[in-house]
Amino acid sequence: MKAITFLGTGNYEKTIYNFNGKKAQPTELFPKALCELFELEELLVVVTKCAKKKWFAKLEEQLKESGIKITEVPIPDGHSEEDLWTIFDQITKFLDEGDELIFDITHSFRTVPLLSFLAANYLQTAKNVKIKGIYYGAFDAGQNANDSSTKTATVFDLTLFLELSRWVTATDKFITTGDAGDLAKLLKEIHDRERAKPQSDAQMPNFLQRLGNAIGELSNAMLVNRPHEIAEKAKRVGKLIQDERAILETKQFAKPLAVLLERIGKEFEPFANFSLVSQRKLIDWYLNHGQVVQAVALTREWLVSFVCQKLGLDQMKRDQRKQAEDVLNNLGRQKKQKPGNQNKQNDVSEATKSFGEQFKHCQQADEIVEIWNQAQDLRNDVLHFGFREQARPAKRILEHAKELNDKIQKLIL
């Protein structure tokens, strides 16, 4: 495991650093204590010219028998924006894909702690670096023991604040795309981490994983267009986020999510029943969250379900959905034909003709058939990935999807 540490130009005092009951030998330099408190293979020491001159040789001397590789990471003083980017680049370039890493910000200075957090967050994504901890040895807050002139200071674990950035990313993903998969993953990780600690069952989370699983299952159902499953999972999520035990656990173990619970409930509540109303809202939701393919595909199926309802057919039975589709296709063909050139419909079944006549008397029938023709064409263009003559460009796909949505939202159910 590697560690990134910093040296400044301060007059550091000899301190005994304590982390989770384990004490390091007294030292002025926290990086020395870091090497005793954690099992490290390499120490990346970030230094300016002045910091190197004052402390680097002493640190090397203190660690010469540790067996740990010491690597100097030179940086500028950070007086300009260009310097800050150079510092960021230097912090990140000494790391390899998949490295396990500790950040120590004890002797860092000016904006470097903030840059360290940003770099850690970036590295997790860009290089799949696994951040094992971010630590700060609070030497300024250290106190002298009664029988010693050497201060004892606590080492603070700041790793949870890095986790906050993951919450920010997961939350933004959920709000902009509706994908709650990362939120569910975070909940499961917290649940597993807390359950692994030596504590009584009463102190352990029991509902976080249930909530995470429910949110993840709902998100997956929405991702692959499962309206019936969406209704079932949305109902379950709604119940869980109102459960007092889940609320208490969220506040205790996953504070960032506590702020989001109400929003998650409101976001998915409209889909907690299986109906034409909820499915139409789902189409609108898909479009507003950039999931155009799902919106277009569901629009076509929604129109079939709409006709099933008007004709007293079961929308969940394949043969009856096929009957509704035949009605729409037949009426759609008639609508596209020029006056005086109507087909004799010799190839249309008597059932389709009969249902077609029945449907013509329904309110908005003509408008629905017109929308069907447009939806069919758009759906075929989208789901066949444009492998057709006169395929629409992406811009027109988006425009037509919105136009279709506007039309079906105005239909009277």
> pLDDT, tens digit, for every residue of 78-89?
788 898 888 888
Instruction: Return left, alpha or beta for 345; rule: phi > 0 is left, psi -120 to 50 is alpha, else beta.
Output: left
Contact status, residue 208 vs residue 254, Cβ threshold 8 Å:
yes
CA 249 to chain CA centroid, Å, is 21
CB 101 within 8 A of CB 129: yes
349 SS3 class: coil
Confidence (pLDDT) at 38? 93
- In three-state secondary structure terms, 114 is helix
Here the tokens at position 211 are: 């909530």
For 303, what's the count of Cα atoms within 13 Å in the CB-facing half-sphere?
Answer: 29
Q: How many residues appear in the chain?
A: 413
As given in the structure block, the two tokens for residue 95 are 């790391």
Over pLDDT 70: what percentage of the chain?
94
pLDDT on residue 123:
86
- The alpha helices in 144-207, defined as continuous H runs, are 159-177, 181-195
Domains contained in the chain, CATH given: 2-157 (3.40.50.10640), 174-271 (no CATH), 277-409 (no CATH)
pLDDT in tens, 286-332: 999 999 999 999 999 999 999 999 999 999 999 999 999 999 999 99
Quick one: which of 171, 155, 177 has its CA closest to 5?
155
Mean pLDDT, all residues of the chain: 89
Cα separation of 137 and 322, whole Å? 70
Q: What is the pLDDT of residue 29?
A: 93
- With bands split at pLDDT 50, 70 and 90, how would you rate the model's confidence at 342? low
From the list 43, 7, 38, the residue with the least C-alpha distance to 22 is: 38
Kindly report, residue by residue over 114-156, the tens digit of the pLDDT: 887 788 888 888 889 998 889 999 877 655 555 556 788 999 9
**pLDDT value at residue 180:** 87
Higher confidence at residue 124 or residue 72?
72
- pLDDT of res. 111: 78
Question: In this structure, what token pair is assigned to residue 395?
Answer: 């811009």
